[in-house]
Copies of this chain bind each other. A is one copy, B any other.
Amino acid sequence: MGPTVYVINPNSSQTVTAEIDKAVAPLRSADGPDIVCLSLAEGPPGIQSQQDVDGVIVPMLRKAVELEDSAGAFVVACFSDPGLHALRELSRRRVFGIAECGVLTALTLGQRFGVIAILPTSVPRHLRYFGAMGVMDRFAADLPIGLGVAELSDEGRALDRMIKVGRTLKDSHGADVLVMGCAGMARFRTALEAAVGVPVVEPTQAAVAMAVGHVRLSQPAAH
């Protein structure tokens, strides 16, 4: 058994984890690293505030430590990348955050990235993070759809809002690539891309793709 890419959804929602699992399925290969997606039992149902972000770090690190020996890489699957740098310090494995990888991947697809956030309160948190990443010169805007976790289950409405926000990002803010500012939304990606007319990055896919590449490159070539 080779090393595994562990995708840790730091909230406790099995539904979100199942969505992530489905989203990254195409990255699995017969001879490549296993990709295991898991929820964090100690996490809240959804991560909506800075307090939620900070609160999941300790249990997430504990979980990662348990997985360390069989891990080839970790992916932190929440768009605030909670505990990313703590886990990088702690682990001997490479650690990928979905916000970081989602934005970096977007930089290969357009000159100005826009972000579709869920809640208005996420926006300043994202801005601080993009500032820390040093990518503000490529930033168009970050706008929320303004739906709570419960309301997201009305899929039609959620998609409508994403399309509306996506179009505003494109037309009023000059975004030519979008990043979905949340995990577990991959099912909307194709429709959103078609409706808005610019590439859309699903950040979990972006991060797991980079993680799988890393694990493969750390192994002896089989071909």
Contacts and interface: CB of A to CB of B under 8 A. Distances in A.
Interface of A: 22, 25-32, 49-51, 53-55, 57-58, 61, 83, 85-86, 88-90, 94, 96-97, 100-101, 104-105, 107-112, 121, 123-125, 127-129, 131-138, 141, 174, 176, 205-206, 208-210, 212-214, 216-217, 219-223
B26 A29 contact: no
Contact of A54 (B58, B217, B219, B223): B58
A209 B218 CA distance: 12
Given A26-B216, A51-B89, A86-B49, A210 B124 contact: no
Nearest to A85: B50
Which 10 A/B pairs are nearest by Cβ-Cβ distance? A209-B213, A134-B137, A25-B221, A111-B124, A29-B29, A132-B132, A128-B132, A26-B221, A54-B57, A28-B223
Question: Oligomeric state, in number of copies?
Answer: 6
Contacts of A212: 209, 213
A104 B121 CA distance: 22
Given A108-B104, A221-B26, A85 B216 contact: no
Nearest to A100: B108
